[in-house]
């Protein structure tokens, strides 16, 4: 326990002698009087002496206690751990206040947003004191210091602090601490000012669990002030909203909405999805601290880019911003195929014939929705032949020329889908050449090799299928029945690469060789089917056509299933080849009027060798952004809130002060622990003082009676 | 008898109202001369009282011959002798009797002054009845003892002594009384005027019982000053003892009740001792005029 005014204690001790002094000073001068009955006076005094001595002791004790209690009350005792950073500490100091403005600070508790409490607390650290220099770092996805260096312009800091608002971002703790380290770094060897860091945040578990304060300068006084309520407020959120076109053609889409319940009890909510002018409503029940996924196949009325949103209807929770999530889906027109093969089209049956039949079914051809497919001889596979294709299929191409390899890699990077059916030893050479040409942008999970010489090709069976992958997910429980009995002939052997991503192997044979491999390469995707379609019963299986359709659809729509763009974090998107030149495009937001010249307000569109690239260093608002050429939407992207911001669970104080503090002295102050409450004990001493005085009066009255 | 006042304590004009009163006794006494008071002797003179059957030892001169002749039985005639009174006024002149006096050597307002007025008047009244009156001044011992006499000279001498009385610090009364008892050979009436603020209260009454055993009539006049009965109002007082008891600082308000109880107990004790010793007890307050006190006293004794 410390005292705000310790001098009052010394005065109190001195004042404790006050009752005695008052007694001596105010003692009445006795009147002298001769008395014959002095013996009776003495007897009366003897009789009253014990009673009066007790009364005097009680009165003296109460009076002294009252004075001491008054002195302690004036001294303002403060209990509990004392803050490391306060205005009471003298000397030069460099103070940096790190203010978390991530989306979670918009959460309200008893009607007050956490950011309001954060601003109030931060303002206490920007009061002028001789020798104090300070700065404010507004921490979101990127740290934003108010001044480049610490300053004494506290008025400006307070003004900037008052303007701080919650950003729809998550906080990058590492970047923020690095900025703080730069600000706190001593300017010279003579700079021995005390270093102080005040972190004001809700200390969300998702953001702060990996915080590392070790890089801060030695001796930095670390004060963590939480503005999160003692118990996380209940919150419901849409943490993921995705729509994927089903297959490579048609207007069907698969809608997946993931609802997170960050509440101590299970809750039921209504998800309302608006997409392409249509609306769907579904009830979802979510267990406590769990997520639930609403998945549904929907049919959209029009092709092209469809925008919409998913909303939690009628939900009132702590964080309203995460109850809505934008949604984008593209229903592509029937794709254009180029089949590079040495096999003539008239050769039937052949592997290329099976492929042609699977990619362009007769039913689709009759309905007019059939994609276009062109057979190209490997020797004629130049840019003019391949560029119009959305999907390039290679089957029995033989040894490809280097120019063709380079062209394939280039098209792959620009977003083309390449399906390589590896059936003969030359394909191993081609795949290796592709990998070499692709370099770091094309890193296949396995390395293909021809089967050893002299070993007769034997039939192989599937040993593993990634049934959870979207390509196989559409088959559901029938997958086992469909894959049992499949025999594969031809093909290559494969060997896994240590640094590769194993999840890219969607199916493998019993001998461990990969059967189906999916590898991303910048905007495009390479699929390798390791089998000779002329020597397998897969082509006769009901699995073949839908599998190929899903595979192609997945490859074409890969962009949409990739990681969503989040507010405050860099957005880099490669536009489809058909989008045209950057000069003809502009970026719009359907629900906003601010359209910048060439999309400057929403980032920049740049022409690159692989096409137009959209770069936006820090998207500011969640929503759907469209790239238009005239009135035609050529690309759309949804910018959303990071889902981590919806989980309002915060880190326990022990974790922050012991595990993450890297051995530094840390003071932690919770939101419920108001600083003024530490200073309230003086009221109790004032009450004790009053009670002592009342007790004295009562004692005097009691003994008098 | 023409008595000119020789002391300021004798106010003949005031005492004129008491001219018709005499100091009477309630029991038979022994006197030197014949007087107005019944004597312990029942001789042949005096007022006839009764007959008593002749026992053979009486003086034949007192035999009633006429009754013998008429009845044949011998009776003697009993006559009550009357004699004069021997009264001793014993005055307590201890330090406590100064209470009530102002500062300095003056005794004005004190209990002793009141006693001086009262004893002077008493001596005048007794002497006017041709009775003998004496004076004994007591402090720690018998300071002065003027034997009873009825001469004017003796009375004047006694009144002079009374007028010159002064107090001496003493808390003993019994030694003086014992000494007075030893010097008093004949029976009489002893009037003791004291405040009885002594340490030897029981011994003092034991001495009084000696007088009673010798058939003295003992009258105890307990002199009380009204300011002794209750402590004065005020915050702080330094009480100084009148008999060398030192000083006491206190707040009277704190001990007022206890003091009142102690003083009441003292009054009760004195009265109890007096009545137990067959003494007549009378409380005399200095708040009442000595003439009123004296008048009441004489009327009461006259029966």
Among A40, A54, A59, A700, which would you mutate to test the B interface (most chain B Cβ atoms within 10 Å of its Cβ)? A40
Task: Judge contact between A38 and A107, C-beta under 8 A.
Answer: no
Please indicate, yes or no, if residue B239 is contained in any of the structural domains.
Answer: yes
Which residue is closest to B246 within chain A, CA to CA? A38
CA distance B284 to chain A (A): 16
8 Å CB contact of A40 and B238: no
d(CA A317, CA A10): 54
**Which residues in B lie closer than 8 A to residue A39 (C-beta atoms)?**
197, 245
Q: B72 and B156: one domain? A: no
Report, as an integer, the average pLDDT of B19-46: 67
CA distance A24 to chain B (A): 13
Which residue is closest to B102 within chain A, CA to CA? A34
d(CA A696, CA A689): 11
**Number of cross-chain residue pairs from A and B with Cβ atoms under 8 Å apart:** 87
Q: B245 and B284: one domain? A: yes
Give Cα separations from A491 to A376, A404, A451, B18, B268 (angstroms).
22, 22, 8, 165, 139
pLDDT category, A593, cuts 50, 70, 90?
low
**Which residues in B lie closer than 8 A to residue A52 (C-beta atoms)?**
254
CA angle A30, A34, A39 (to 5 degrees): 100
Instruction: Please provide the average confidence, as pLDDT, over all residues in chain A.
Output: 86
Helix (H) or strand (E) holding A410: helix A402-413
Please indicate, yes or no, if residue B7 is contained in any of the structural domains.
Answer: no
Residue A447 Ramachandran class (φ > 0 left, ψ -120 to 50 alpha, else beta): beta
Task: Judge contact between A272 and A259, C-beta under 8 A.
Answer: no
8 Å CB contact of B241 and A44: no
Query: Is A704 in the B-facing interface, judged by CB distances under 8 Å?
Result: no
Choose the closest CB to A35 out of B97, B99, B235.
Answer: B99
Please indicate, yes or no, if residue B273 is contained in any of the structural domains.
Answer: yes
**Which residues in A lie closer than 8 A to residue B259 (C-beta atoms)?**
37, 40-41, 44
Q: What is the pLDDT of residue A250?
A: 63
Give Cα separations from A289 to A43, A234, A236, A260, A652 (angstroms).
84, 10, 10, 7, 17
Considering only CA atoms, which of A79, A75, A95, A98 is closest in space to residue A87?
A95
Does the structure show a pLDDT above 60 at A559?
Answer: no
Which residue is closest to B255 within chain A, CA to CA? A44
Neighbouring residues of B271: CB distance < 8 A, sequence distance ≥ 6: B222, B281, B283
**Which residues in A lie closer than 8 A to residue B97 (C-beta atoms)?**
36
Q: B184 and B65: one domain? A: no
d(CA A604, CA A234): 39
Which residue is closest to A52 within chain B, CA to CA? B254
Query: Is A51 in the B-facing interface, judged by CB distances under 8 Å?
Result: no
Phi and psi at A703, nearest 5°, equal: -75, -25
For the domain made up of A93-230+648-664, give the CATH fold: Rossmann fold (3.40.50)
Query: Is A34 in the B-facing interface, judged by CB distances under 8 Å?
Result: yes
Number of H helices and E strands in chain A, helices first, is 18, 35
- A235-332 domain in CATH 1.10.3720.10? no
Which residue is closest to B195 within chain A, CA to CA? A36
d(CA A361, CA B266): 139
8 Å CB contact of A28 and B228: no
Q: B69 and B167: one domain? A: no
Give the three-class secondary structure for A236. strand
Report, as an integer, the average pLDDT of A10-27: 80
Tell me the β-bridge partners of B281. B220
Q: What is the pLDDT of residue A271?
A: 93
- DSSP β-ladder status, A132-139 and A93-100: parallel
CA angle A177, A183, A189 (to 5 degrees): 125
Considering only CA atoms, which of A139, A79, A73, A134 is closest in space to residue A104?
A139
Report how many domains make up chain B: 2
8 Å CB contact of B248 and A36: no
Tokens of A86: 């306060």
CB half-sphere exposure, A85, CA atoms < 13 A:
32
**Which residues in B lie closer than 8 A to residue A38 (C-beta atoms)?**
239-242, 245-246, 248
Tokens of A193: 């000012």
Residue B15 Ramachandran class (φ > 0 left, ψ -120 to 50 alpha, else beta): alpha
Q: What is the pLDDT of residues A227-271, one digit of tens each?
A: 988 888 899 999 999 887 766 556 778 888 999 999 999 999 999
Report, as an integer, the average pLDDT of A354-372: 73
**What ipTM was reported for this prediction?**
0.83
Q: What is the pLDDT of residues A91-113, one digit of tens each?
A: 889 999 999 999 999 998 888 89
How many other CB atoms are there within 10 angstroms of residue B13's CB atom? 7
Query: Is A54 in the B-facing interface, judged by CB distances under 8 Å?
Result: no
Give the three-class secondary structure for A571. strand
8 Å CB contact of B99 and A52: no
Give Cα separations from A158 to A123, A135, A704, B161, B181 (angstroms).
6, 10, 62, 105, 110
CA angle B287, B293, B295 (to 5 degrees): 150
pLDDT category, A597, cuts 50, 70, 90?
very low
Choose the closest CB to A48 out of B97, B255, B266.
Answer: B255
Q: What is the pLDDT of residues A640-686, one digit of tens each?
A: 999 989 999 888 888 888 877 777 788 888 877 655 556 788 899 99
Q: What is the pLDDT of residue B224?
A: 95
Choose the closest CB to B254 out of A31, A37, A52.
Answer: A52
B271 vs A85: which has the higher pLDDT: B271
A685 vs B254: which has the higher pLDDT: A685
Choose the closest CB to B195 out of A36, A40, A52.
Answer: A36
CATH number of B231's domain:
3.40.50.410
Tell me the β-bridge partners of B86. B132
**Which residues in B lie closer than 8 A to residue A28 (C-beta atoms)?**
235-236
Kindly provide the residue ranges of all beta strands, DSSP E only, lying in A90-234, ordered along the sequence. Answer: 93-100, 108-109, 112-113, 132-139, 143-145, 194-201, 221-226
Tokens of A437: 């040409």
Please indicate, yes or no, if residue B32 is contained in any of the structural domains.
Answer: no
8 Å CB contact of A48 and B238: no
Kindly state the greatest CA–CA separation across chain A: 154
Q: B165 and B190: one domain? A: yes
d(CA A55, CA A163): 64
Answer yes or no: same fold for A93-230+648-664 and A235-332. Answer: no
Q: What is the pLDDT of residue B39?
A: 63
- DSSP β-ladder status, B237-241 and B142-149: unpaired
Tell me the β-bridge partners of A705. none
Phi and psi at B281, nearest 5°, equal: -115, 135
Q: What is the pLDDT of residue A340?
A: 94
Choose the closest CB to B248 out of A31, A38, A52.
Answer: A38
**Which residues in A lie closer than 8 A to residue B255 (C-beta atoms)?**
41, 44-45, 47-48
Choose the closest CB to A41 out of B95, B250, B261.
Answer: B250
Considering only CA atoms, which of B83, B86, B79, B84 is closest in space to residue B64?
B79
Please indicate, yes or no, if residue B37 is contained in any of the structural domains.
Answer: no
Q: Residues, chain A, total?
A: 705
Query: Is A28 in the B-facing interface, judged by CB distances under 8 Å?
Result: yes
- DSSP β-ladder status, A278-286 and A267-275: antiparallel
Please indicate, yes or no, if residue B4 is contained in any of the structural domains.
Answer: no
8 Å CB contact of B255 and A41: yes
Q: What is the pLDDT of residues A143-183, one digit of tens each?
A: 999 999 999 999 999 999 999 999 999 999 999 999 999 99
Does the structure show a pLDDT above 70 at B148?
Answer: yes
Considering only CA atoms, which of A345, A276, A285, A265 is closest in space to residue A306?
A276
Neighbouring residues of B253: CB distance < 8 A, sequence distance ≥ 6: B233, B235
8 Å CB contact of B266 and A40: yes
Choose the closest CB to B237 out of A31, A40, A52.
Answer: A31
Query: What is residue B253's DSSP assignment?
Result: H
Tokens of B89: 């006024």
Tokens of A112: 């007050």
Reply yes or no: is the peptide bond before residue B187 cis, omega within 30 of 0.
no
For the domain made up of A336-556, give the CATH fold: Rossmann fold (3.40.50)
Q: What is the pLDDT of residues B126-146, one digit of tens each?
A: 888 888 899 999 988 999 999
Q: What is the pLDDT of residue B285?
A: 95
CA distance A705 to chain B (A): 11
Task: Judge contact between A41 and B260, C-beta under 8 A.
Answer: no
Q: What is the pLDDT of residue A141?
A: 92
Choose the closest CB to B249 out of A30, A34, A52.
Answer: A30
Q: B92 and B217: one domain? A: yes
d(CA A645, CA A227): 15
Q: What is the pLDDT of residues A461-485, one digit of tens each?
A: 998 998 888 788 878 888 888 888 8
Does the structure show a pLDDT above 80 at B30?
Answer: no
Helix (H) or strand (E) holding A66: helix A38-75
- A565-640 domain in CATH 2.60.40.10? yes
Give Cα separations from A379 to A348, A427, A528 (angstroms).
22, 15, 21
Choose the closest CB to A48 out of B240, B249, B258.
Answer: B258
- What share of chain B has pLDDT > 90, as a percent? 48
Tell me the β-bridge partners of A35. B241
8 Å CB contact of B266 and A30: no
CA distance B180 to chain A (A): 25
CB half-sphere exposure, A472, CA atoms < 13 A:
19
Q: B146 and B69: one domain? A: no
pLDDT category, B41, cuts 50, 70, 90?
low
How many other CB atoms are there within 10 angstroms of residue B66's CB atom? 10
Instruction: Please provide the average confidence, as pLDDT, over all residues in chain B.
Output: 87
Q: What is the pLDDT of residue A524?
A: 85
Report, as an integer, the average pLDDT of A439-461: 82
Q: What is the pLDDT of residue A207?
A: 87
CA angle A240, A242, A244 (to 5 degrees): 160
CA distance A46 to chain B (A): 10
8 Å CB contact of A40 and B245: no
Q: B68 and B124: one domain? A: no
For the purposes of burial, counting CB atoms within 10 Å of the CB of B300, is it exposed (0-12), middle (13-18) or buried (19 or more)?
A: exposed
8 Å CB contact of A37 and B249: no
Kindly provide the residue ranges of all beta strands, DSSP E only, lying in A169-220, ordered along the sequence. Answer: 194-201
Task: Judge contact between A635 and A579, C-beta under 8 A.
Answer: yes
Q: What is the pLDDT of residue B177?
A: 95
**Which residues in B lie closer than 8 A to residue A35 (C-beta atoms)?**
99, 239-242
Please indicate, yes or no, if residue B185 is contained in any of the structural domains.
Answer: yes
d(CA A114, CA A204): 12
Q: What is the pLDDT of residue B36?
A: 62
CA distance A19 to chain B (A): 19
Q: B144 and B58: one domain? A: no
Helices (H), A477-610: 479-483, 544-556, 558-561
Does the structure show a pLDDT above 60 at A573?
Answer: yes
Range of the domain at B63: 42-80
Q: B207 and B275: one domain? A: yes
d(CA B204, CA B200): 6
Give Cα separations from B141 to A334, B163, B219 (angstroms).
150, 19, 20
Q: B261 and B161: one domain? A: yes
8 Å CB contact of A33 and B255: no
Of A259-263, A279-283, A561-565, B216-220, the poorest mean pLDDT is in: A561-565
Q: What is the pLDDT of residue B244?
A: 84
pLDDT category, A598, cuts 50, 70, 90?
very low
8 Å CB contact of A44 and B235: no
Give Cα separations from B50 to B66, B75, B238 (angstroms).
15, 10, 65
Report, as an integer, the average pLDDT of A21-29: 78
Out of A232-236, A361-365, A577-581, give the one with best mean pLDDT: A232-236
Query: Is A346 in the B-facing interface, judged by CB distances under 8 Å?
Result: no
Residue boundaries of the structural domains of chain A: 2-25+38-80+682-704, 93-230+648-664, 235-332, 336-556, 565-640
Tell me the β-bridge partners of B201. none
d(CA A48, CA B254): 8
Helices (H), B97-200: 111-128, 152-163, 174-183
Q: B145 and B242: one domain? A: yes
d(CA A571, CA A619): 7
């Amino acid at each position: 326990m410390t005292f705000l005014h310790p001098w009052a204690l010394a005065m109190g001790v001195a004042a404790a002698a006050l009752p005695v002094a008052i007694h001596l000073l105010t003692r009445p001068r006795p009147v002298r009087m001769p008395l014959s009955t002095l013996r009776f006076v003495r007897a009366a005094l003897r009789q009253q002496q014990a009673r009066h001595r007790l009364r005097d002791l009680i009165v003296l004790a109460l009076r002294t206690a009252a004075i001491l209690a008054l002195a302690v009350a004036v001294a303002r005792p403060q209990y509990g751990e004392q803050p490391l950073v306060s205005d009471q500490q003298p000397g030069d100091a460099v103070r940096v206040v790190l203010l978390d403005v991530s989306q979670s600070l918009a959460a309200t508790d008893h009607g007050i947003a956490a950011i309001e409490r954060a601003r109030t607390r931060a303002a206490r650290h920007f009061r002028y004191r001789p020798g104090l220099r300070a700065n404010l770092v507004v921490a979101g996805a990127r740290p934003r210091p108010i001044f480049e260096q610490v300053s004494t312009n506290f008025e400006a800091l307070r003004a900037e602090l008052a303007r701080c608002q919650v950003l729809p971002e998550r906080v990058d703790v590492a970047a923020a601490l690095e900025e703080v380290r730069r600000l706190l770094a001593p300017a010279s060897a003579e700079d021995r000012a005390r270093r102080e860091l005040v972190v004001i945040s809700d200390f969300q578990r998702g953001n702060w669990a990996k915080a590392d304060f070790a890089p801060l300068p030695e001796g930095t006084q670390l004060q963590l002030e939480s503005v999160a309520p003692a118990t996380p407020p209940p919150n419901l959120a849409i943490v993921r909203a995705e729509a994927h076109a089903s297959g490579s053609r048609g207007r069907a889409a698969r809608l997946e909405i993931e609802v997170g319940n960050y509440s101590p009890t299970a809750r039921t909510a209504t998800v309302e999805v608006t997409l392409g002018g249509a609306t769907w409503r579904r009830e979802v029940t979510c267990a406590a601290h769990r997520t639930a996924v609403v998945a549904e196949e929907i049919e959209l009325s029009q092709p092209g880019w469809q925008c919409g949103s998913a909303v939690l209807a009628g939900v009132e929770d702590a964080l309203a911003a995460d109850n809505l999530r934008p949604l984008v889906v593209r229903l592509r027109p029937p794709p254009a195929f180029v089949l590079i093969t040495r096999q003539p089209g008239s050769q039937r049956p052949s592997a290329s014939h099976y492929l042609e039949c699977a990619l362009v079914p007769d039913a689709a051809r009759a309905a007019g929705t059939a994609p276009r497919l062109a057979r190209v001889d490997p020797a004629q596979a130049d840019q003019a032949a391949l560029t119009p294709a959305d999907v390039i299929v290679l089957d029995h191409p033989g040894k490809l020329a280097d120019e063709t390899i380079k062209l394939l890699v280039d098209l792959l990077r620009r977003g083309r889908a390449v399906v390589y059916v590896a059936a003969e030893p030359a394909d191993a050479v081609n795949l290796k050449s592709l990998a070499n040409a692709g370099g770091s942008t094309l890193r296949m999970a396995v390395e293909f090799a021809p089967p050893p010489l002299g070993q007769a090709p034997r039939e192989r069976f599937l040993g593993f299928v990634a049934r959870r992958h979207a390509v196989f997910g559409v088959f559901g429980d029938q997958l086992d029945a469909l894959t049992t009995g499949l025999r594969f002939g031809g093909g290559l052997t494969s060997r896994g690469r240590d640094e590769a991503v194993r999840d890219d192997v969607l199916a493998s044979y019993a001998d461990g060789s990969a059967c189906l491999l999916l590898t991303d390469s910048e905007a495009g995707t390479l699929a390798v089917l390791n089998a000779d379609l002329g020597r397998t019963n897969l082509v006769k299986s009901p699995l073949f056509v839908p599998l190929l359709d899903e595979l192609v659809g997945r490859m074409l729509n890969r962009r949409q299933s990739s990681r969503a763009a989040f507010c405050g974090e860099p957005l880099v998107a490669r536009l489809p080849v058909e989008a045209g030149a950057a000069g003809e495009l502009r970026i719009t937001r359907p629900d906003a009027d601010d359209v910048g010249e060439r999309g400057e307000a929403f980032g920049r569109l740049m022409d690159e060798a692989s096409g137009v690239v959209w770069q936006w260093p820090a998207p500011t608002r969640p929503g759907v952004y469209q790239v238009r050429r005239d009135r035609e939407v050529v690309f759309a992207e949804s910018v959303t809130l990071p889902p981590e911001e919806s989980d309002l669970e915060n880190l326990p104080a022990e974790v922050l002060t012991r595990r993450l503090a890297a051995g530094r002295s840390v003071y932690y102050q919770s939101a419920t622990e108001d600083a003024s409450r530490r200073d309230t004990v003086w009221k109790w001493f004032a009450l004790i003082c009053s009670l002592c005085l009342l007790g004295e009066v009562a004692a005097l009255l009691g003994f008098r009676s | 008898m023409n008595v000119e006042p020789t002391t300021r304590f004798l106010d003949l004009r005031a005492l004129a109202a008491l001219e018709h009163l005499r100091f009477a006794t309630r029991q038979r006494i022994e006197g030197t001369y014949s007087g107005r008071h019944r004597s312990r002797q029942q001789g042949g003179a005096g007022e006839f009282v009764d007959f008593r059957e002749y026992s053979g030892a009486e003086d034949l001169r007192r035999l009633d011959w006429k009754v013998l002749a008429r009845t044949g039985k011998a009776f003697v005639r009993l006559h009550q002798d009357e004699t004069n009174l021997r009264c001793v006024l014993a005055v307590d002149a201890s330090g406590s009797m100064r209470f009530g006096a102002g500062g300095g050597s003056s005794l004005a307002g004190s209990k002793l002054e009141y006693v001086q007025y009262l004893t002077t008047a008493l001596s005048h009244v007794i002497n006017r009845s041709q009775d003998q009156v004496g004076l004994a001044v007591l402090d720690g011992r018998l300071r002065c003892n003027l034997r009873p006499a009825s001469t004017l000279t003796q009375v004047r001498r006694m009144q002079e002594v009374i007028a010159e009385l002064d107090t001496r610090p003493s808390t003993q009364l019994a030694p003086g009384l014992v000494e007075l008892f030893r010097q008093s050979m004949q029976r009489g009436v002893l009037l003791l005027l004291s405040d009885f603020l002594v340490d030897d209260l029981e011994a003092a009454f034991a001495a009084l019982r000696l007088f009673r055993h010798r058939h003295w009539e003992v009258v105890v006049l307990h002199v009380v000053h009204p300011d002794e009965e209750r402590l004065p109002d005020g915050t702080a007082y330094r009480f100084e003892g009148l008999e060398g008891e030192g000083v006491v600082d206190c707040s009277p308000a704190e001990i007022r009740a206890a003091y009142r109880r102690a003083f009441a107990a003292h009054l009760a004790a004195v009265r109890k001792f007096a009545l137990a010793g067959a003494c007549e007890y009378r409380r005399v307050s200095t708040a009442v005029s000595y003439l009123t006190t004296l008048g009441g006293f004489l009327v009461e004794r006259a029966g």
